[in-house]
Structures are given as structure tokens and as C-alpha cells.
Amino acid sequence: MATSALQGAPMPTTDDRTTSDGDLRLVGITKRFGRFTAVDDLDLTVPQGSFFALLGPSGCGKTTTLRMVAGLEQPTQGQVLLGDRDVTGTKPYQRPVNTVFQSYALFPHLDVFENVAFGLRRRRKKEVKADVDAVLELVQLEHLAKSKPGLLSGGQQQRVALARAIVNRPSVLLLDEPLGALDLKLRRQMQVELKRIQTEVGLTFVHVTHDQEEAMTMADTIAVMNGGRIEQMGSPTELYERPCTTFAANFLGQSNLIQATVTGTAGDDLLIDVHGQRVTLPRQRSTVTDGRLWLGVRPEKLRVAGPDDAGNRLTGIVTDASFIGVATYYLVRMPWGQELTVVQQNDGTPPLPPGEPLTVTWLPDHGFGLDATQDEHAGAEAIDPDAPAPAGAAR
């Protein structure tokens, strides 16, 4: 397998690259364009060898952040560190960083092999064949080594672009919406591919996307960005199961956010009033422990209640039921007027028709509590209408 040739291969010695690579750290990074702040006092650490995703809506500062890591943009304030090395003032070509953009910009007159070999030849590496062959095998393009880019499909061209970057064995590979030009099916395939490649070569990938499913599929850690800042950072499951802001709760998947009030405590639980109904929430699952809060529950965590179900309960009236085979998506109007989205896994029970009362239950451990002063719709309207439906979204 190509892996063996790449893994543990010595870093190139023909330029100023050192082995002091390691974690990528951004410390207090700010970028202003005139009076506009595109990136606002960002602190983040990307552990060496991890797959890190910067996820956020258009204009939130993702590309600007990447460009500062690459050295294509100078921060107004703050530092970029690679391991112990401060590279803030270093020229792009002196950084052990490579970037793959949405537009691949392959050399049309060079064949695939020479496109991939380009960086090595420019660094005057004498023996390029073994490295290029190994990386072409990794991206499964050995058979197209002699083809010109113009004859390749979008996905194949994207893999050449990737191979061309990986062959340089950068400490950090930056990917700015690299799959954006591909159709949905190919994009899904390439997501799996990219993750496989990253795992095999063990390089640090920093991947920029506004597609939450793409980020969740591939990344070890996701930083959710909004307005030049990081809203929340964590593993896909941490972010999904325990969002800390309404923006994160709505941008990553979908959430029911219910206006509620903490009325007391019982052991490790908060006692919560939801428009006259008592429910509970573990204290450590809430960013707020008294007064008003948004009580969040994901649509698939709400279940159509059976008679013996323990847990929190609320009853409403079905206003819409869409059977999609694996599940039924319900809208359930609560007595206070709010419609909750419920995704009920198909367990063989026929869907309840509109007009029927429906009691939903959920485990207290599946709820989360958020600051009531935040906009309940933050992040929901930011979702790209062309993007595929978020996981758990009602249609």
C-alpha cells in the first residue's frame, strides 16, 4: 500500500523545513479590513495529525483564517505558531503548509504525474518517482498518471490537486471548500476518501466548509465560526449532543428550543417549568442554572410516548405527519402555540394523523439548557438553501 512509502518518510531536506512541526496554534488572531473585523481575536489549537474543520456560514471569516495560516494574509493582531515556531511573519513558501482550494488550478499542459511532481521538482528533489507513485496510489490515480488534467472528471482533478499538495508532506494541509465544485454524490464519496487519506498519511488537515454534514463526516474536531469568532469547538458528537449556544444548536442539525424557567433543583437536576408543565434537566447540561432559559431537545430525541415511558412528557396536537419510510417527521403544536419537530423512527406503528393528540417524552439527559437572552433563531437562517438537509431536519 502507498501508505508505507509515505508514512514515516523523512521531511524534505532541500528547503528550510524543520522537524519542529507539531500543533498549529492561532493566538489572539484578528484580521481587520479597514474598519471591518473579519476575524475577531481567535484562539485555537489544532493538534498534530488531526482532522480539524472550520464550519460556519458564508462570510464568517473561514477563508481569511486559512489565508493567515498559509501566510497569504497578514494578521492585524496575534500570532500563528507551528509547534514552537512563530511563523506569523514568514513568507507563504517558507511555511510547511500547503493549500487546496475549490478551484484546483492544475497545470493543463502537464500530465497528472508532472502536476504532482511539480512541487518536488521546484525544490530540486532528484528522485521524484517513488514519492509521486506512492501518492498517486494513495489517491487511486496511478492509471491516469500520463493523462492531461483536461480529460479528467471533477473528482479526479480534485484528487490530483490533493496529491500535489500531499506529496510535499506539509505539516499542515489547508483545504478551503475543496469539494465545493463537485456534485452531491461525488462530494459524499470524496468526503469518505479524504478522511481515509488523512488517516493513512497522518497529516494535519484544516478543512473549511459551510456544510455541517461534511464537517461531521470527516473532522475529529469542529470549530463552529460565526461573525469572525468561534462559537463552540469540540468533537462532532460533543457539538451535536451538547451545543452551548443557540447558533451552534441550530447550525449543526436542528433543535427544538423551548422557552422555560428554572424553578428549583433536585439533587443534580434542575427543575424546570415549561409553560406550566414540570420537566427536569441535569444541571451540568445547562449553561444557565436559574431564571429563564432555552430548553433544547433534538427532534430525534423526542419520542412518541408509550404508556410506560419514563422521562419528561409534553402533550400537543399533531399538525403535520410526513412518513418517509425510515421515520415519520411530525410537527406537534404545543398548548402555548409552538410547533415542535419530532422524528420518530419507524418501529412499525402507523403514523398518527394530523389532529390527533400526541404526547412526546424525552430523557432528561437528552435535553440541554441555553442562555435565554440569545436569539432562538440564530444559525437557523444561516443555512445554505442549496445545501443538503441537515441531519435530523424536518424535510
Ligand X SMILES: Nc1ncnc2c1ncn2[C@@H]1O[C@H](COP(=O)(O)OP(=O)(O)OP(=O)(O)O)[C@@H](O)[C@H]1O
Give contact residues for ligand X (rule: CB under 6 A): 33, 36, 38, 56, 58-64, 210
By a kind-dependent CB cut-off of 5 to 8 A, residue 323 interacts, out of Mg ion, ligand X, none, with none
Judged by CB, which is closer to ligand X: 49, or 180?
Answer: 180
13 CB burial (10 A radius; 0-12, 13-18, 19+): exposed
Judged by CB, which is closer to Mg ion: 225, or 288?
Answer: 225
C-beta of 134: minimal distance to Mg ion in Å?
31
Judged by CB, which is closer to Mg ion: 173, or 297?
Answer: 173
By a kind-dependent CB cut-off of 5 to 8 A, residue 38 interacts, out of ligand X, Mg ion, none, with ligand X
312-to-236, 241, 303, 319, 345 alpha-carbon distances in Å = 26, 17, 10, 21, 19
By a kind-dependent CB cut-off of 5 to 8 A, residue 60 interacts, out of Mg ion, ligand X, none, with ligand X
How many amino acids of this chain bind Mg ion (CB under 5 A)?
A: 1
Axis crossing angle, helix 112-122 with helix 154-166, rounded to the nearest 10: 20
C-beta of 328: minimal distance to ligand X in Å?
34
C-beta of 199: minimal distance to Mg ion in Å?
25
Contact pattern for Mg ion over residues 12 through 51, marking x by CB under 5 A: ----------------------------------------
Which residue shows C-alpha cell 479597514? 34
CB 137 within 8 A of CB 1: yes
Task: Give the integer Cα–Cα distance in Å for 139 and 166.
Answer: 10
Cell of 159: 484528487
C-beta of 371: minimal distance to ligand X in Å?
24
Q: Give the largest CA-CA distance in the chain.
A: 76
Task: Give the integer Cα–Cα distance in Å for 285 and 269.
Answer: 9
Task: Give the integer Cα–Cα distance in Å for 174 and 301.
Answer: 35
Judged by CB, which is closer to ligand X: 167, or 223?
Answer: 223
C-beta of 287: minimal distance to Mg ion in Å?
29
By a kind-dependent CB cut-off of 5 to 8 A, residue 210 interacts, out of Mg ion, ligand X, none, with ligand X
Helix, strand, or coil here: 95? coil
By a kind-dependent CB cut-off of 5 to 8 A, residue 58 interacts, out of ligand X, Mg ion, none, with ligand X
C-beta of 245: minimal distance to ligand X in Å?
18
Judged by CB, which is closer to ligand X: 70, or 163?
Answer: 70
Judged by CB, which is closer to ligand X: 34, or 307?
Answer: 34
C-beta of 76: minimal distance to ligand X in Å?
12
Judged by CB, which is closer to Mg ion: 63, or 254?
Answer: 63
Instruction: Detail the DSSP E strand segments found in the chain.
Output: 24-33, 36-46, 51-55, 77-82, 85-86, 97-100, 172-176, 204-209, 221-226, 229-234, 256-266, 269-274, 277-282, 291-297, 303-304, 312-323, 327-333, 339-345, 357-362, 367-371
Of 57-65, 84-92, 298-306, 334-342, the window that binds Mg ion (rule: CB under 5 A) is: 57-65
Locate all alpha helices (DSSP H) within 28-153, ordered by sequence. 62-70, 112-122, 129-138
By a kind-dependent CB cut-off of 5 to 8 A, residue 59 interacts, out of Mg ion, ligand X, none, with ligand X
Verify binding: residue 63, Mg ion, rule CB under 5 A: yes
Q: Which residue is nearest to Mg ion (CB)?
A: 63
By a kind-dependent CB cut-off of 5 to 8 A, residue 360 interacts, out of ligand X, Mg ion, none, with none
In 3D space, the residue among 390, 395, 384 whose CA is nearest the CA of residue 177 turns out to be 384
What is the β-pairing status of strands 204-209 and 221-226? unpaired
291: left (phi over 0), alpha (psi -120 to 50) or beta: left
Task: Give the integer Cα–Cα distance in Å for 17 and 11.
Answer: 8
158-to-102, 142, 181, 349 alpha-carbon distances in Å = 8, 14, 9, 45
Judged by CB, which is closer to ligand X: 59, or 264?
Answer: 59
C-beta of 236: minimal distance to Mg ion in Å?
21
C-beta of 73: minimal distance to ligand X in Å?
8
Judged by CB, which is closer to ligand X: 45, or 102?
Answer: 102
Judged by CB, which is closer to ligand X: 39, or 321?
Answer: 39
C-beta of 99: minimal distance to Mg ion in Å?
12
Binding site for Mg ion (CB under 5 A): 63
